[in-house]
């Protein structure tokens, strides 16, 4: 079977699945592309970031049309992550790929752990006033780590929006403008 066809179908399926989860496709595209492409930093990461930006843009359009984006924190987070992600990409050029793969898998494990933290039950999602200060505090290091891994910042930022009280739908909507440029 043609490798290009397998890549296209695989990335389409991963894009659909990650979009349903409210995450960019990069977290799933990196290991998938890594199976087919040999240079993590110069092939896999740029392609995965491009795909991530495109899928985040389409998610942003839908979320914005639905009125789900919390624009003030989204813009602040987008500015911080857009400024710091290139630093991580530069660092990745000087780090052994094995360390980058290890960082990737640690980040995925962290995401899984944070996503399964108990949800706050005190108020309904529309009545909550989430405290997003922690998300703003960790945005710069998350962006550097995201740049090193060739991922958008959403993989680690998403749980840092949910845990302080933003519901999963609003967290996905708010982080979509953050992942589009980064």
Which pLDDT score is estimated for 123?
47
For the ranges 21-35, 42-56, 152-166, the lowest mean pLDDT is seen at 152-166
Query: What is the residue-wise DSSP string for 76-121?
Result: HHHHHHHHHHHHHHHHHTTS-HHHHHHHHHHHHHHHHHHHTSPPP-
Evaluate if residue 56 carries a pLDDT over 80.
Answer: yes
- The pTM (predicted TM-score) of the whole model is 0.76
Q: Which long-range contacts (CB under 8 A, 24 or more apart) does 47-50 make?
A: 48/150, 48/151, 49/150, 49/151, 49/152, 49/182
**Each residue of 80-90: pLDDT tens digit?**
998 998 898 89
Question: Can you give the C-alpha Rg of the chain in angstroms?
Answer: 16
Compare 178 and 22 and report the one with higher pLDDT.
178
Residue 26 has a CB neighbour count (10 Å cut-off) of: 31
Instruction: Tell me the average pLDDT across 149-159.
Output: 77
Distances (CA, A) of 2 to 6, 7, 36, 101, 182: 6, 9, 12, 27, 31
**Each residue of 79-134: pLDDT tens digit?**
999 899 889 889 988 988 888 888 878 877 877 776 676 655 554 544 455 677 88
Residue bearing tokens 């979009």: 19
Q: Rounded mean pLDDT of the chain?
A: 81
Judge residue 149's burial from the number of C-beta atoms within 10 Å of its C-beta, 0-12 exposed, 13-18 middle, 19 or more buried: buried
Evaluate if residue 5 carries a pLDDT over 90.
Answer: yes
């Amino acid at each position: 079977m043609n490798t290009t066809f397998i890549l296209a179908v695989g990335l389409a399926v991963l894009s659909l699945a990650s979009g349903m989860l409210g995450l960019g496709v990069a977290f799933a595209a990196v290991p998938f592309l890594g199976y087919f492409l040999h240079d993590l930093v110069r092939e896999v990461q740029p392609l995965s970031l491009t795909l991530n930006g495109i899928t985040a843009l389409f998610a942003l359009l839908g979320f914005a049309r639905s009125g789900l984006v919390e624009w003030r924190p989204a813009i602040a987070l987008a500015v911080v992550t857009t400024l710091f992600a290139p630093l991580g990409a530069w660092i990745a050029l000087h780090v052994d790929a094995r360390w980058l793969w290890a960082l990737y898998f640690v980040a995925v494990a962290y995401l899984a752990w944070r996503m399964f933290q108990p949800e706050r039950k005190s108020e309904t999602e529309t009545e909550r006033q989430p405290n997003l200060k922690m998300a703003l505090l960790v945005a710069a290091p998350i962006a550097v780590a995201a740049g090193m891994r060739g991922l958008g910042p959403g993989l680690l930022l998403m749980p840092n929006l949910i845990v302080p009280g933003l519901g999963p739908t609003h967290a996905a909507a708010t982080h979509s403008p953050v992942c589009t440029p980064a």
